[in-house]
């Protein structure tokens, strides 16, 4: 049986499961407007890091919900968390931008394969 373009694409995805899973986790974490706002606030912090208490003041939501959003960003590698006394402090993991560039660059692991044209 001849190999189809779809079969070839599936094989390519199997060859890069780690990159695909990492990309999905990263992009899913950034696909929520609240989480994007959190990243912007942390990035704009004068010291390069933001305390949970300061972030909580910016959002009208339960602390548990905000904590959940931050946990997703930490687990995806977007933010780093450091516990200091009662509070957690967050800073950007700058490696994430390099990871995004690597994933999206032409010829990178998530490259598009040319579509076949049926005659």
> What residues does each domain of the chain span?
20-104
Beta-sheet pairing, 79-84 with 49-51: unpaired
Tell me the residue length of the chain. Answer: 119
Fold of 20-104: Arc Repressor Mutant, subunit A (1.10.10)
Is pTM beyond 0.75 here?
no
- For residue 41, is pLDDT > 80? yes
Residue, of 117 and 35, whose pLDDT is higher: 35
* pLDDT at residue 8 is higher than 70: no
Neighbours of 80 (CB within 10 A): 17
The Cβ of residue 61 has, within 10 Å, a number of other Cβ atoms equal to 13
pLDDT per residue as tens digits for the range 89-116:
999 998 887 877 777 777 766 565 655 5
Share of the chain above pLDDT 70, in %: 75
């Amino acid at each position: 049986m001849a190999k189809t373009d779809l079969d070839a694409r599936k094989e390519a995805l199997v060859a890069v499961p780690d990159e695909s899973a990492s990309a999905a986790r990263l992009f899913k974490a950034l696909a929520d407007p609240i989480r994007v706002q959190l990243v912007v606030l942390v990035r704009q912090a004068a010291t390069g890091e933001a305390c949970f208490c300061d972030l909580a003041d910016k959002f009208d939501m339960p602390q548990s919900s905000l904590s959940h959003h931050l946990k997703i960003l930490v687990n995806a590698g977007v933010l780093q968390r450091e516990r200091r006394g009662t509070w957690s402090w967050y800073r950007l993991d700058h490696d994430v931008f390099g990871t995004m560039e690597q994933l999206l660059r032409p010829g990178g692991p998530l490259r598009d394969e040319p579509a076949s044209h049926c005659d």
